[in-house]
A and B are shown apart, each in its own frame.
Chain A
Amino acid sequence: MRGVVRLEIFGALPAGLLNAAAAEGAALWRVESVDENTLRLCCWERQLPVFERLASRAGCELRILSRRGGSGNLRFARRRAVLLTGLGLAALAVAVSLLFVWQIEVRGNRRLSRGEVLRALSDCGFTVGSFWPGTDTEKLKSGVQLVCPEIGWMSVNVSGSRALVLIVERTEKPTIAAEGTSAELVAARSGVVRRVSVLEGQAKVAPGQVVTAGEVLASGKLESLANGTRAVRARGGVMAETWRELIAVRPAAETLKRPRELGFSRFALVFGKRRVNLYFGSGKALDGCDKIVAEYTLGIRGLFSTPLRLVREQIVPYDSEVGTDADFEGMAARLSAMLTADTEGQILDSSVSRAAARGLLVVTLRAHCIENIARTREYAPGPR
Chain B
Amino acid sequence: MTLNKLRELPAELCDRLELPDQILPGVGTVTVSGSRRALVEGHRGILAYTQEQVVVSFGRQRLTLGGSGLRIEAMNQTELLITGKIRTAEWG
Contacts and interface: CB of A to CB of B under 8 A. Distances in A.
Contact of A15 (B46, B70, B76, B77): B46
B30 interface: no
B48 A15 contact: yes
B73 interface: yes
Contacts of B75: 18, 22, 27-29, 31
B74 A19 contact: no
B49 A15 contact: yes
B51 interface: yes
Nearest to A24: B77
A33 B77 contact: no
A25 B50 contact: no
Contact of B77 (A16, A25, A29): A25
Interface string A7-20: 00000001110110
B72 A31 contact: yes
Interface in B37-67: 45-51
B70 to A, nearest CB: 8
A358 interface: no
A274 interface: no
A15 B57 CA distance: 12
Residues of A contacting B: mostly: mixed
Nearest to A30: B73
Contacts of A27: 74-76
A294 interface: no
A33 B49 contact: yes
B72 to A, nearest CB: 4
> In the complex, which range does the number of interface residues on chain B fall in?
10 to 19
Interface in B2-56: 45-51
A36 interface: yes
B71 interface: yes
A26 B88 CA distance: 29
A39 B50 CA distance: 9
B87 to A, nearest CB: 17
Interface in A28-45: 28-33, 36, 39, 41
B46 A29 contact: no
Contacts of A15: 45-49
A33 B46 contact: no
Contacts of A22: 45, 75-77
B43 to A, nearest CB: 9
A124 to B, nearest CB: 65
Contact of B45 (A19, A29, A36): A19
B50 A29 contact: no
Contacts of A26: 76
Contact of B50 (A28, A33, A41): A33
Contacts of B74: 27-30
Contact of A39 (B49, B70, B77): B49
Contact of A29 (B48, B51, B70, B73): B73
A18 B44 CA distance: 11
Contacts of A32: 71
B50 A31 contact: no
A310 B45 CA distance: 66
A23 interface: yes
For the complex of A and B, list the 9 residue pairs with the smallest distance between their C-beta atoms, beginning with the closest: A19-B45, A31-B72, A29-B74, A15-B46, A15-B49, A27-B76, A22-B77, A28-B75, A33-B50
Interface of A: 14-16, 18-19, 22-23, 25-33, 36, 39, 41
6 contacts: A18-B46, A18-B49, A28-B75, A29-B75, A31-B73, A31-B75
Given A14-B49, A27-B76, 20 more contacts: A15-B46, A15-B48, A16-B45, A18-B49, A18-B72, A22-B77, A26-B76, A27-B74, A27-B75, A28-B74, A28-B75, A28-B76, A30-B71, A30-B73, A31-B49, A31-B75, A33-B50, A33-B71, A39-B49, A41-B72
